[in-house]
Amino acid sequence: MKLSLSAIGILLLLGGTMASAQGKFEKDLIKTKAGDLEITFIGHGTLMFAFGGKVIHVDPVGQYADYSQMPKADLILITHEHGDHLDFKAVAALRKADTQMVVNPAGAGKLPGAAVLKNGEKKTVIGLEIEAVPAYNLAHKRDSGEPFHPKGRDNGYVITFGDKRVYVAGDTENHPEMKALQNIDIAFLPMNLP
């Protein structure tokens, strides 16, 4: 497998539990050459990163947190427009006047003003390199035979924090493009079917 992972390892996503009643979430602190990266696992596909004085939310969904009590976002990344990854109320609660957003092409019309990244595109946002990578199903399909997440529609993201590359896979299966990723230090991978 060409996907190289450092000793930091693979952090599993999708299928995690909700935070305790006290509102405490599991956090990890990762040292980078540009400062500490704090990673907060919220639930399902929902994450929060704090780095360089900036807050980045990925796929915020109100089922997993009270976003009125969470730090406001400098950047919101949306992998795709399904309701368990894009919650408009959570996004609204996190936004401030200068919050930037990045979405997949299918999510563009749902979040006006968001930057659109297609699979394979890169963009620097709030000083971070964001690369949109494919997220799709090979085997997990609807009764009609259509994949729940068709090739080319949804994004995973590789985010560079200093010298660390973090892969947020989104809703996907282990496809050839994932296997070809290089120099990934931390990966959030789905644990759902198949």
Q: Where are the domains of the chain?
A: 10-15+27-189
Which two structure tokens, joined as six digits, stand for 34?
Answer: 């540009």
76 confidence band (pLDDT: 50, 70, 90): very high
Residue 97 CA to residue 87 CA, distance in Å, equals 19
The matching CATH number, chosen from 3.60.15.10, 3.40.50.720, 3.90.79.10, 1.10.460.10, for 10-15+27-189 is 3.60.15.10
Q: How much is the pLDDT for 139?
A: 74
The DSSP element (H or E) to which 37 belongs, if any, is: strand 35-43
Lowest mean pLDDT across 13-27, 66-80, 94-108: 13-27
Amino acid, single-letter form, for residue 99: T
Cβ–Cβ < 8 Å for 94, 57: yes
Mean of pLDDT values over 48-67: 93
Q: How much is the pLDDT for 9?
A: 39
Please, what sign has the CA dihedral across residues 94, 178, 38, 12?
Answer: positive
Is the peptide bond preceding residue 112 cis, with omega within 30 degrees of 0?
Answer: no
Alpha helices by DSSP H, 98-155: none
Provide the whole-model pTM: 0.84
| pLDDT per residue as tens digits for the range 99-157 | 999 999 988 888 888 999 999 999 999 999 999 999 887 777 778 878 677 787 889 99
